[in-house]
Structure 1
């Protein structure tokens, strides 16, 4: 995972720089800078619009007493896409735009859900839940006899100030 991130942080900026230099040769310096600012502004506008629509859908689902799973995934995708659009570069702008458009976002969401479901079925991924600092027993560990962990200290703001 560390090597992948290293390559990502090395390759993506190099490709972005090469693309920006090439675009600068084609259309000139100031139009390229204008393009960078225009995509950042358009990205922030689109991210806000799509984010607000998702927030309304999220609140509606909660009001109906339903779990807003789709809306949560859309919110994360919109946040990531907005960050990509604000980042200067052609490649990141393209990926951000793909993440903000509802039809392509739905495709990404379905793909992510399918991958998560496969990983959970193959037991290559687990969902861990923690309750107050205690974790449930691990079914794969024969030595795990029950809940384990340590109690958290009482927060200082709950202490009685009348000592």
Structure 2
């Protein structure tokens, strides 16, 4: 139901804003503002997206919960779509989502409403099952001899030395 209301309300809001702003400053300045916000938004989305990707990679490298960087990245992607959509209302929402404090507040609001499963790695906090051997433990002694090429068994697999 909310999606239907949004699909009806947002275009109506945009049309009303275009009429108001266009009537106040004129057609060409209005169109110039729309084009400039799309260009500026593209630049800002790219720079914020790089930062979000770096935070996501850092969370994976440090084995931390990647939920927050993923949500921030999704909000940045959504803001890019809003900024490329012509309109003043969508531009305002898109620029707001590029502000980290706004994204953080939106993330907290979303997290309060959605049950999020925690993420963990198997064996986190426990010693590894097969630690590297640094000495001690069971050692199996063995002997080997290297056969000359004429006494080596012939194999047709292509993986043995002939």
Structures share fold, TM-score greater than 0.5: yes
User: Residue by residue, what CA displacement relative to the aligned partner does 1:35-91 show, whole Å, maximum 9, x if unpaired?
Assistant: 000111111111111110000111111111223111001011111111111111111
Name 2:7's counterpart in structure 1.
9
Name 1:26's counterpart in structure 2.
24
Secondary structure class of the residue paired with 2:64: coil
Structure 1 position 10, deviation (Å):
1.6
Name 2:61's counterpart in structure 1.
63
* Distance in 2 separating the partners of 1:42 and 1:110: 27
**Structural mapping, 1:39-50, within 5 Å:** 39-50=37-48
* Distance in 1 separating the partners of 2:46 and 2:39: 11
* Distance in 1 separating the partners of 2:4 and 2:55: 37
When you count helix as a share of all residues, which structure comes out higher? Answer: 1
* Distance in 1 separating the partners of 2:56 and 2:9: 36
Count of equivalent residues: 117
Name 1:100's counterpart in structure 2.
98
Name 1:78's counterpart in structure 2.
76
Structure 1 position 14, deviation (Å):
1.2
* Distance in 2 separating the partners of 1:115 and 1:81: 21
* Distance in 2 separating the partners of 1:10 and 1:60: 40
Instruction: After the TM superposition, list the runs of 4 or more consecutive aligned residues in structure 1 that deviate by more than 3 angstroms.
Output: none
Cα RMSD over matched residues?
Answer: 1.5
Larger Rg: 2
Secondary structure class of the residue paired with 2:106: helix
Q: TM-score, normalised by structure 2?
A: 0.68
Task: Return the structure number with greater relative CO, CA threshold 8 A, min gap 6.
Answer: 2
Q: TM-score, normalised by structure 1?
A: 0.68
Q: Which blocks of at least 5 consecutive residues in structure 2 are unaligned? A: 118-162
Structure 1 position 94, deviation (Å):
0.8
